[in-house]
Chains A and B, each alone.
Chain A
Amino acid sequence: MEARIRARVNLALTFFALLFFVAGSSPPRQFVISNAERRIDLSSHIINVHLTLKVENAGTRPASEVVLALTPTEVDHLAMVDASAIKGKRKKTTSLRLEVKPTELPDAPPIDTKYFTIYLANPLNSGESTTLEVLYVFTHFLEPFPAEIAQSESQLVFYHDTALILSSYHIKQQTTFIKTPSTKVESFIRMEPTNRVGTEIKYGPYEDRPPYSISPIHVHFENNSPFAVVEELVQEIEISHWGNIQVTEHYKLIHAGARHKGVFSRVDYQSRQSSNGASSFRYLLARLPPRVHSVYYRDEIGNISSSHLRTDSLKSELQIEPRYPLFGGWKATFVIGYGLPLQDFLFESSDDKRYLNFTFGCPLIGMVVDKLTIKVVLPEGSTDPSPVVPFPVEHHLEL
């Protein structure tokens, strides 16, 4: 869950994050990757890539900076990157989160590769090896093809990648698994050994590939998961003296998949639901904090009656339905508002300061947020506010 929130947040902040380059790097050739396994999950429009690397220090000196390489297109669509080191064996594994920072390498290789550096907690001595787990999250990465579909067609998308993992290190053995949402795969480029079983395509294992070797592939497959994108989200958090936090969220939602073409027939949509409007979506689920009250869901022209709220002691779930089903390219704007008890979120410290501890991000599940603005309205009489966010954000104070 936390990773997902961070995913959304990072997406909005990628561009800021990229500004913080860290100068200085270790020689890239120091490591050798003895085994690499990549699992690409294409089941929704948010792509999760799990990369497991077994890194071995082949150099002579201890080193602590492992460099990851990404293509420029990947970097453009990268929402977040997260790395952790795996310790222990078999069932007793523990993972330790590691710092990852974008880097620029002076001796750039042929293609415009972008780099991220993982800072290991303890330097790796010569000859030692460790296992790293890296998670990349990409958004807006699947390209609908055909770009326009009729109501009865399902949505086909292209996924472009390389069968060989782009790396600045020598990889001794690597395998890539691509998981598609269904067995309907129109086409994919083979690179032997390639094997397709059910919803999974396996590339590899490939042995002993030199650094920077790539082999472009694409997968053309059916993906009818909701391509729900919030183009802009403005979240207002208003803190009241009277023990209440009022949250108002203004959404601009769009279906970012293949554009709807031609007619929208209600009779087909109602009577043949399995084969009609497969890529459209109707329901959205928002996970709100527990003890939420006064929830409303409306737009510019009034209340939208199709929403349900389920509350329990741990969480509240708000299921909302836009006024009409969203087909490709269709938009909807709406506002969700709710009140929260102040004591759940506001803490007082001994130095006479108060802290508001609030989750950063969008409560809607499975959603990509392109632009996120959070406004915190402080009660009258507040002085010297300062935000604490675990990643760089642009912020300013309005009076």
Chain B
Amino acid sequence: MATMPASASDLLKSFKLKTKQQELLIRVSILCLVYILAFITRLFSVLRYESMIHEFDPYFNYRTTLYLTENGFYDFWNWFDYESWYPLGRIVGGTLYPGLMVTAVLIYRILRFLRFAVHIREVCVLTAPFFASNTTLVAYFFGKEIWDSGAGLVAAILIAVCPGYISRSVAGSYDNEGVAIFALLFTFYVFVKAVNTGSLAWSLASAFGYFYMVSAWGGYVFIINLIPLYVLVLLITGRYSMRLYVAYNCMYILGMLLAMQIRFVGFQHVQSGEHMAAMGVFFLMQVFYFLDWVKHMLSDTKLFQAFLRITVTSAVAVGGIALGLGMVSGYISPWTGRFYSLLDPTYAKDHIPIIASVSEHQPTAWSSFMFDFHILLFLFPAGLYFCFKRLSDATIFIVMYGLTSMYFAGVMVRLILVATPAVCLISAIAVSTTVKNLTVLLRSKNKVVQTGSTKGSGGSKSSSKALLDQSQPFQKNGAIALLFGAFYLLSRYATHCTWVTSEAYSSPSIVLAARGAHGNRVIFDDYREAYFWLRQNTPQDAKVMSWWDYGYQITAMGNRTVIVDNNTWNNTHIATVGRAMSSYEDEAIEIIRSLDVDYVLVVFGGVTGYSSDDINKFLWMVRIGGGVFPVIKEPDYLVNGEYRVDKGAAPKMLNCLMYKLCYYRFGEMMTEYGKPPGYDRARGVEIGNKDVKLEHLEEAFTTSNWIVRIYRVKPANNRW
């Protein structure tokens, strides 16, 4: 604004805007542009492919949303799903976070009411970008609250395009995280606002924000642990105030009561170990309040010190005993495996293979930090420095949020998402403060130059210049250079974000695209081919067995019953499937028949070179199966600690059901010019067992690029 050209400012003057109004206008228009940018940058996938739901979990969300639109809320709440976890079934209403579905249906109803004849699918596809846009607004207000409106604007811009967030909120990525990040940031913002103002209204708003977060995503546990931790830190650093007391108590009590309305969460707030910290801090607050009151009543400091010691000791003792009793009696449930694996990254690997098997639960590599944050990774420490320089209740919060979420982001890849808003906000503080300091320098110089030129005397100019910058000789040039550097970095960031979004995060993963020999785009639509075949050409009540990754997609797109799906609630059931896949065919058929399975579906990338197929996932089937059924021993499948499929593979590997189903008649197939038949392009080897014979299963369907293969279970032979 300072360097606005004269003509533009004349133009603005003709509109008779005061400086403040100009500033407001610019701020509002920047926010509007950011709002739009955040939405459209997430539309790559729609433009490249089509308006479709991505990945795995979103298909379940889509299916439930469809059910909600068709059958209404009460049926949805009481829905018992017979199509998954056969023969157990799943109580869907009680085992999901309904926030996302209810939000989408609400948007859908509003649009319908406004006479927009949209399909619910379009609403679902665009829900995540819409909420991402809203998140930018929240980020602006949050930044304004903790620093100033400049930092808020920068935060909004940074978060609008940050790949860490985009990875989970592109159009079609209809997942809980899409709305949950909005809810998370909103809750934090409103809570900080409540702490800053001590207003009951703001803390009430934060309780509702928390309620929305609880209804939307299991990540609410982060809020219910971070906020008490923050309160605790404030207490320790002697920043206890009435504002804090009001904000926390109102938020905690109301938030807890509201959260209990979500069936999946239920009484966990008072019964689960993960929520106990919040309750402990709640009681601690009461003790503090009581002590404050006593201190107020007692004028004697020595007496108060003694009283303080007794009270704190007894309070901690009572709390500890209550917690211990609760744990022992089983009233308070211990921490879950997921929670443990957050605190100890090696825990899942040793104890819960099913958590470790998910790629997004792996510890984060440095490269993916760089990929998702780019320059924010360097700006983050700088921002922390500025925060520490200007400590307040709000900056303490953002520092704590940043540090804890960075730790979690390091533990699990998917939690980069939670860290993204904090990183953006803190980096925004760094950018905004730096740029502001530099422009202040430049502006003061400019004034000098202007005054000097009006005076028209070179001597006075140089003298006033010398007066101003006594400390650094090339301050102006340095400032300009630094400003250019900052803008260069920011422009690199924007380029990087766009590139990452378009290249890495906008693939639906249902439809695969590759470059053909002539540079043309080849589309592999095999998943939908197979699912649609299942939907049209198998009996309505057919049971399909596959690895759990594909469960949601088979029920949503294939409309057929599955044995296991992505809601991995029953480890034994999954292990049974893993055991069937890793046994010999005649052993596997017993399990298959006992599960009443009609079709077996495997994903195979050997023809196309698609690497995330079932053979590459096979080690987890063995490991998970072996975790429950000791008959499956991992070393049987390994050769020198390696999984192989070529001639050097272990005999059990070459004859297990998964191998047979993937490579059935693959030995006749020429996949690549100049290679022998049966050359597996995904693993780059010639397969070891080309003569695969199936006894109890028969090929029912194989897609055009062989990515999905479906086998029919033959009826049992008559016994004589």
B-binding residues in A (CB < 8 A) = 262-267, 271, 299-306, 323-324, 329-333
Interface contact A264-B702, CB-CB below 8 Å: yes
Chain B, Cβ-Cβ closest to A269: B702
Answer whether A262 and B698 are a contact pair too, CB < 8 Å, given A303-B50, A330-B536, A331-B536: yes
Interface contact A266-B704, CB-CB below 8 Å: yes
Q: Which of A263, A301, A305 meets B532, CB within 8 Å?
A: A301
Q: Which of B528, B529, B665, B701 meets A267, CB within 8 Å?
A: B665
Shortest CB distance B717–A (Å): 16
Answer whether A263 and B537 are a contact pair too, CB < 8 Å, given A303-B50, A305-B523: no
Shortest CB distance A213–B (Å): 46
Interface contact B701-A323, CB-CB below 8 Å: no
CB-CB under 8 A from A265, the residues of chain B are 665, 699, 702
Interface contact A323-B698, CB-CB below 8 Å: no
Answer whether A299 and B699 are a contact pair too, CB < 8 Å, given A265-B665, A267-B669, A305-B523: no
Chain A, Cβ-Cβ closest to B121: A302
B424 touches A (CB below 8 Å): no
Q: Which of B531, B537, B557, B665 meets A331, CB within 8 Å?
A: B537
Chain A, Cβ-Cβ closest to B698: A263
Measured CA separation A332–B537 after assembly (Å): 8
Shortest CB distance A294–B (Å): 14
Shortest CB distance A53–B (Å): 45
Interface contact B700-A302, CB-CB below 8 Å: no
Shortest CB distance A152–B (Å): 13
Measured CA separation A154–B608 after assembly (Å): 30
Interface contact B536-A264, CB-CB below 8 Å: no
Interface contact B536-A266, CB-CB below 8 Å: no
CB-CB under 8 A from B511, the residues of chain A are 305
Answer whether A333 and B525 are a contact pair too, CB < 8 Å, given A265-B702, A324-B703: no
Q: Which of B528, B531, B703 meets A266, CB within 8 Å?
A: B703
Measured CA separation A266–B533 after assembly (Å): 14
Answer whether A301 and B557 are a contact pair too, CB < 8 Å, given A262-B698, A333-B536: yes
Interface contact B536-A332, CB-CB below 8 Å: yes
Interface contact A263-B699, CB-CB below 8 Å: yes
In which size bucket is the chain B interface?
Answer: 20 to 34
Measured CA separation A324–B665 after assembly (Å): 20
B618 touches A (CB below 8 Å): no
CB-CB under 8 A from A271, the residues of chain B are 668
Measured CA separation A306–B528 after assembly (Å): 12
Interface contact B700-A264, CB-CB below 8 Å: yes
Chain B, Cβ-Cβ closest to A322: B532
Interface contact B706-A266, CB-CB below 8 Å: yes
Interface contact B706-A323, CB-CB below 8 Å: no
CB-CB under 8 A from A330, the residues of chain B are 533, 536-537
Answer whether A263 and B703 are a contact pair too, CB < 8 Å, given A302-B52, A324-B532, A330-B537: no
CB-CB under 8 A from A324, the residues of chain B are 529, 532-533, 701, 703-704
Measured CA separation A264–B699 after assembly (Å): 6
Measured CA separation A267–B712 after assembly (Å): 17
Known contacts A302-B50, A305-B525, then 14 further A-B pairs from the complex at CB < 8 Å, ordered by chain A residue: A263-B698, A263-B700, A264-B702, A266-B702, A266-B703, A301-B535, A302-B52, A305-B511, A323-B525, A323-B528, A323-B532, A323-B533, A330-B533, A332-B536
**Chain B 512-535 interface mask (CB, 8 Å, partner A; 1/0):** 000000000001010011011101
Chain B, Cβ-Cβ closest to A151: B699
CB-CB under 8 A from B533, the residues of chain A are 323-324, 330
CB-CB under 8 A from B706, the residues of chain A are 266
Q: Which of B52, B536, B701, B704 meets A303, CB within 8 Å?
A: B52
Measured CA separation A349–B50 after assembly (Å): 42
Shortest CB distance A279–B (Å): 16
Measured CA separation A329–B536 after assembly (Å): 10
Measured CA separation A264–B698 after assembly (Å): 9
Query: 10 A-B residue contacts at CB 8 Å?
Result: A265-B699, A266-B701, A299-B532, A300-B535, A301-B557, A302-B528, A323-B533, A324-B701, A330-B537, A331-B537
**Chain B 703-717 interface mask (CB, 8 Å, partner A; 1/0):** 110100000100000
**Chain B 526-553 interface mask (CB, 8 Å, partner A; 1/0):** 0011011101110000000000000000
Shortest CB distance A353–B (Å): 28
Chain A, Cβ-Cβ closest to B668: A267
Measured CA separation A306–B705 after assembly (Å): 14
CB-CB under 8 A from B703, the residues of chain A are 266, 324
- Interface SS of A by simple majority: loop
Chain B, Cβ-Cβ closest to A330: B537
CB-CB under 8 A from A266, the residues of chain B are 699, 701-704, 706
CB-CB under 8 A from A264, the residues of chain B are 699-702
Shortest CB distance A98–B (Å): 44
Chain B, Cβ-Cβ closest to A266: B702
Shortest CB distance A381–B (Å): 16
Shortest CB distance A66–B (Å): 47
CB-CB under 8 A from A305, the residues of chain B are 511, 523, 525
**Chain B 678-720 interface mask (CB, 8 Å, partner A; 1/0):** 0000000000000000000011111110100000100000000
A266, A300, A303, A305 pick with most chain B CB within 10 angstroms: A266
B536, B669, B706 pick with most chain A CB within 10 angstroms: B536
Interface contact B698-A301, CB-CB below 8 Å: no
Q: Which of A323, A331, A333 meets B529, CB within 8 Å?
A: A323
**Chain B 25-60 interface mask (CB, 8 Å, partner A; 1/0):** 000000000000000000000000010100000000
Measured CA separation A341–B712 after assembly (Å): 49
Chain B, Cβ-Cβ closest to A252: B536
A267, A300, A329, A332 pick with most chain B CB within 10 angstroms: A267
Measured CA separation A265–B711 after assembly (Å): 10
CB-CB under 8 A from A306, the residues of chain B are 525
By Cβ-Cβ distance, the 7 closest A-B pairs, closest first, are: A266-B702, A303-B50, A323-B529, A331-B536, A301-B557, A263-B699, A302-B52
CB-CB under 8 A from A323, the residues of chain B are 525, 528-529, 532-533
Q: Which of B528, B537, B701 meets A301, CB within 8 Å?
A: B528
Shortest CB distance B296–A (Å): 67
Measured CA separation A308–B531 after assembly (Å): 23
Measured CA separation A262–B50 after assembly (Å): 35
Shortest CB distance B45–A (Å): 12
Chain B, Cβ-Cβ closest to A331: B536
Measured CA separation A330–B534 after assembly (Å): 10
Shortest CB distance A257–B (Å): 15
CB-CB under 8 A from B52, the residues of chain A are 302-303
Measured CA separation A271–B607 after assembly (Å): 14
Shortest CB distance B53–A (Å): 8
Interface contact A301-B531, CB-CB below 8 Å: yes
Shortest CB distance B546–A (Å): 17
Measured CA separation A299–B532 after assembly (Å): 9
Shortest CB distance B189–A (Å): 37
Chain B, Cβ-Cβ closest to A334: B532
CB-CB under 8 A from B712, the residues of chain A are 263
Chain B, Cβ-Cβ closest to A332: B536
Measured CA separation A304–B529 after assembly (Å): 9
Measured CA separation A302–B528 after assembly (Å): 8
CB-CB under 8 A from A262, the residues of chain B are 698
Measured CA separation A263–B713 after assembly (Å): 11
Shortest CB distance A230–B (Å): 14
CB-CB under 8 A from B525, the residues of chain A are 304-306, 323
Shortest CB distance A298–B (Å): 8
Shortest CB distance A316–B (Å): 22
CB-CB under 8 A from B523, the residues of chain A are 305
Shortest CB distance B552–A (Å): 13
Chain A, Cβ-Cβ closest to B508: A302
Shortest CB distance B121–A (Å): 9
Shortest CB distance A380–B (Å): 11
Q: B residues 243-285 with Cβ under 8 Å of A?
A: none
Chain A, Cβ-Cβ closest to B533: A324
Measured CA separation A302–B46 after assembly (Å): 12
Measured CA separation A314–B50 after assembly (Å): 30
B511, B668, B669, B704 pick with most chain A CB within 10 angstroms: B704
Measured CA separation A36–B703 after assembly (Å): 52
CB-CB under 8 A from B557, the residues of chain A are 301
